[in-house]
């Protein structure tokens, strides 16, 4: 059993991942904060269902996802992602590339957007993603593959229209 201090430490370690997942589904900071708050409450309340401390992050992110999806259903919100960080030391080309990628990911429909965020921005494995999204490993792989193909097509179209 995890004590209160350990739980708080684990929540703190995963707050960026929690925000990324919630914001990728809700596209609103206030709603993402609401989903995260509810998720923390539910996680603490159901801590006894956590079988292995090493699977805390996927377990927590699944709770965050479920809370965010519940909020979408209740509010009928559109889904978006804008949680990309651009370092101040980035070159102009890196900034343009990051913004173009942000726009392309933002155009993906669910569940493709969610899988891309979890895999590339939260560094989760396909197995962890399948647990979070409540799908099979094969489905998660297929969704990621389709998302890559969609992104490739969008980005090729974007960059083929630019003249250097």
Q: Who has greater pLDDT, 136 or 133? A: 136
pLDDT at 164 over 60: no
d(CA 105, CA 127): 22
Q: Who has greater pLDDT, 89 or 126? A: 126
pLDDT of 9-33, one tens digit each? 999 999 999 999 888 888 788 889 9
pLDDT at 89 over 70: no
Q: Give 30-76 as a DSSP string.
A: HHHHHHHHHHHHHHHHTGGG---GGGHHHHHHHHHHHHHHHHHHHHT
Domains of the chain: 4-160 (1.10.10.10)
pLDDT of 39-56, one tens digit each? 999 999 999 888 888 889
Report the run of H or E that residue 153 belongs to, with start and end: helix 137-160
Q: Which of 57, 28, 154 is nearest to 100 (CA)?
A: 154
3-state helix, strand, coil in the chain (%, to 5): 75, 0, 25
What pLDDT, on a 0 to 100 scale, did the predictor assign at position 35? 93
d(CA 146, CA 87): 29
Buried b (16+ CB within 10 A) or exposed e, 21-32: bbbbbbbbeebb
Percent of the chain with pLDDT over 70: 84
């Amino acid at each position: 059993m995890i004590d209160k201090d350990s739980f708080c430490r684990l929540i703190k370690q995963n707050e960026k991942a929690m925000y990324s997942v919630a914001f990728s589904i809700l596209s609103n900071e206030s709603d993402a904060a609401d989903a995260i708050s509810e998720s923390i409450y539910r996680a603490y309340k159901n801590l006894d269902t956590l079988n292995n401390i090493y699977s805390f992050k996927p377990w927590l992110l699944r709770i965050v996802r479920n809370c965010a999806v519940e909020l979408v259903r209740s509010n009928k919100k559109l889904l978006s992602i804008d949680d990309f960080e651009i370092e101040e030391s980035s070159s102009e080309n890196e900034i343009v590339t990051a913004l173009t990628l942000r726009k392309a990911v933002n155009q993906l429909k669910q569940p493709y957007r969610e899988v891309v965020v979890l895999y590339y921005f939260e560094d989760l494995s396909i197995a962890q993603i399948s647990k979070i999204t409540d799908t099979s490993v094969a489905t998660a792989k297929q969704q990621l593959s389709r998302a890559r193909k969609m992104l490739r097509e969008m980005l090729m179209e974007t960059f083929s229209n630019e003249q250097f």
